[in-house]
């Protein structure tokens, strides 16, 4: 565990010292070492990664771009921005590239938050919101979730205070998988004071069935205080490359770009993202496999009488009771999932939807773990 920081030796701000470290999914190599397992036998369903890996076109683009790594990347990400501009029909000066969309969330926090300011977000929403808020020295206003662990938009609206500068909203949300339809989100944005920035985090957008899709970019045209955050880490299969982006009007985009690192997205990531963006078939196949995997997992949860939250992402939150114990039983059997006690959900596990055989391996181990 981390030793406490001695404030006399290192005079760091209290709000930095108080940050709880991010707890990610356990790496496969670590579980192999700890449990004496063969790495190849381990199934990782812990970090909402695409079980197909990256698109082959991205692999080829990375191979080609490797020759260029002796040089700095294009700090303006011209090619990737061109491709995004064409896809979303926005000018280049509406786009900010990030080292993952996590970078986008942090840039928003660092621009708009500071000591004496606050950010509003829901209970059980993405853990980076409190982390980024606290790192900026601002106060988190955490709004209780609804009965079904979703965002309570009316309560979030009511929670906005005079010093509130940012509202973070994930749709679909992680770790719950909950989703709010377009009309509710737009009414919410329309009801917010234009001096408050709304960060609409759409990391799982590509998994939505077409009838639930909506044109959030059209809202950016209407609302100067809206930032849309997207990522290549999930459906595009590039989690390890670290690339995401924001769409916002030029005034906001300008300030986000001023504080980002000049070369925050490396050249391999830029090349891979351009290729992945063009491979729409890969994203469609990913979404289809995900939908089938969702049915596979939830059918089994129904049969086991385990409650779960209807999910619109590439993962399912399932209530297993003593989740810490079940998690250990799963790890012993070479299955890595995500405990979410740090989100205040000690009875639940978050399962990333994998390929058919991976889901099967998880379900077999879960059956054994529940009876152990």
Ligand X SMILES: *Cc1c(COP(=O)(O)O)cnc(C)c1O
The footprint of ligand X (CB under 6 A) covers: 48, 100-102, 126, 170, 174, 201, 203, 231, 233, 239, 244
- For residue 212 the two structure tokens come to 């639930």
- For residue 84 the two structure tokens come to 């995004």
Q: Identify which of residues 118 and 233 has a Cβ nearer to ligand X in the complex.
A: 233
Residue whose entry in the numeric block shows the structure tokens 């509710």: 184
Edge-to-edge order in the sheet of strand 345-352 = 315-319, 345-352, 338-340
Q: Is 85 exposed, middle or buried (0-12, 13-18, 19+ CB in 10 A)?
A: middle
Residue whose entry in the numeric block shows the structure tokens 């709304």: 198
Q: Identify which of residues 205 and 359 has a Cβ nearer to ligand X in the complex.
A: 205
To ligand X, the closest distance from the beta carbon of 178 in angstroms equals: 11
- For residue 167 the two structure tokens come to 């509202």
Whether the Cβ atoms of residue 132 and residue 107 lie closer than 8 Å to each other: no
To ligand X, the closest distance from the beta carbon of 201 in angstroms equals: 5
To ligand X, the closest distance from the beta carbon of 11 in angstroms equals: 31
To ligand X, the closest distance from the beta carbon of 200 in angstroms equals: 11
Q: Identify which of residues 165 and 352 has a Cβ nearer to ligand X in the complex.
A: 352
Q: Identify which of residues 73 and 175 has a Cβ nearer to ligand X in the complex.
A: 175
Edge-to-edge order in the sheet of strand 197-201 = 95-98, 244-247, 226-231, 197-201, 164-170, 118-122, 139-143
To ligand X, the closest distance from the beta carbon of 332 in angstroms equals: 27
To ligand X, the closest distance from the beta carbon of 14 in angstroms equals: 27
Q: Identify which of residues 204 and 365 has a Cβ nearer to ligand X in the complex.
A: 204
Q: Identify which of residues 129 and 223 has a Cβ nearer to ligand X in the complex.
A: 129
To ligand X, the closest distance from the beta carbon of 179 in angstroms equals: 12
Other beta carbons within 10 angstroms of residue 161's beta carbon come to: 11
Q: Identify which of residues 246 and 369 has a Cβ nearer to ligand X in the complex.
A: 246
To ligand X, the closest distance from the beta carbon of 145 in angstroms equals: 15
CA dihedral (236, 238, 241, 244) positive or negative: positive
Which single residue brings its beta carbon nearest to ligand X?
A: 100
Distance CA 307, CA 319 (A): 5
Q: Identify which of residues 308 and 315 has a Cβ nearer to ligand X in the complex.
A: 315
To ligand X, the closest distance from the beta carbon of 303 in angstroms equals: 28
Q: Identify which of residues 244 and 339 has a Cβ nearer to ligand X in the complex.
A: 244
To ligand X, the closest distance from the beta carbon of 142 in angstroms equals: 16
Distance CA 53, CA 240 (A): 10
Q: Identify which of residues 152 and 163 has a Cβ nearer to ligand X in the complex.
A: 152
């Amino acid at each position: 565990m981390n030793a406490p920081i001695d404030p006399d030796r290192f005079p760091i701000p209290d709000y930095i010292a108080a940050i709880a470290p991010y707890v990610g999914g356990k790496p496969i190599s670590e579980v192999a070492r700890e449990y004496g397992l063969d790495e190849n036998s381990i199934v990782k369903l812990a970090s909402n990664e695409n079980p197909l890996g990256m698109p082959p076109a991205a692999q080829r683009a990375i191979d080609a771009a490797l020759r260029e790594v002796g040089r700095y990347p294009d700090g303006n990400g011209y090619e990737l921005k061109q491709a995004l501009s064409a896809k979303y029909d926005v000018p280049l000066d509406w786009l900010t590239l990030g080292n993952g969309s996590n970078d986008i969330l942090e840039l928003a926090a660092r621009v708009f938050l500071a000591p004496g300011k606050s950010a509003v977000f829901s209970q059980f929403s993405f853990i980076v919101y409190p982390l980024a808020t606290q790192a900026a020295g601002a106060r988190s206003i955490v709004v209780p979730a609804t009965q079904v662990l979703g965002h309570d938009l009316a309560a979030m609206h009511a929670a906005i205070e005079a010093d509130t500068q940012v509202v973070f909203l994930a749709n679909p949300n992680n770790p719950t998988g909950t989703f709010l339809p377009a009309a509710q989100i737009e009414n919410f944005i329309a009801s917010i004071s234009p001096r408050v920035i709304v960060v609409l985090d759409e990391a799982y957008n590509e998994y939505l069935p077409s009838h639930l899709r909506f044109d959030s970019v059209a809202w950016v045209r209407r609302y100067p205080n809206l930032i849309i955050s997207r990522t290549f880490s999930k459906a595009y299969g590039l989690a390890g490359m670290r690339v995401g982006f924001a769409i916002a009007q030029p005034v906001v985009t300008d300030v986000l770009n001023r504080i980002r690192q000049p070369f925050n997205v490396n050249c391999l990531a830029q090349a891979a993202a351009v290729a992945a963006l063009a491979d729409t078939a890969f994203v469609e196949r990913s979404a289809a496999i995900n939908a089938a995997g969702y049915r596979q997992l939830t059918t089994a949860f129904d049969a086991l009488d385990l409650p779960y939250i209807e999910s619109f992402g590439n993962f399912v939150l399932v209530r297993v009771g003593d989740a810490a114990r079940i998690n250990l039983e799963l790890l012993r059997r070479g299955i890595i999932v995500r405990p979410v006690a740090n989100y205040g959900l000690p009875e639940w596990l978050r399962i990333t939807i994998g390929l058919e055989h991976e889901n099967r391996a998880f379900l077999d181990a879960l059956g054994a773990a529940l009876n152990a």
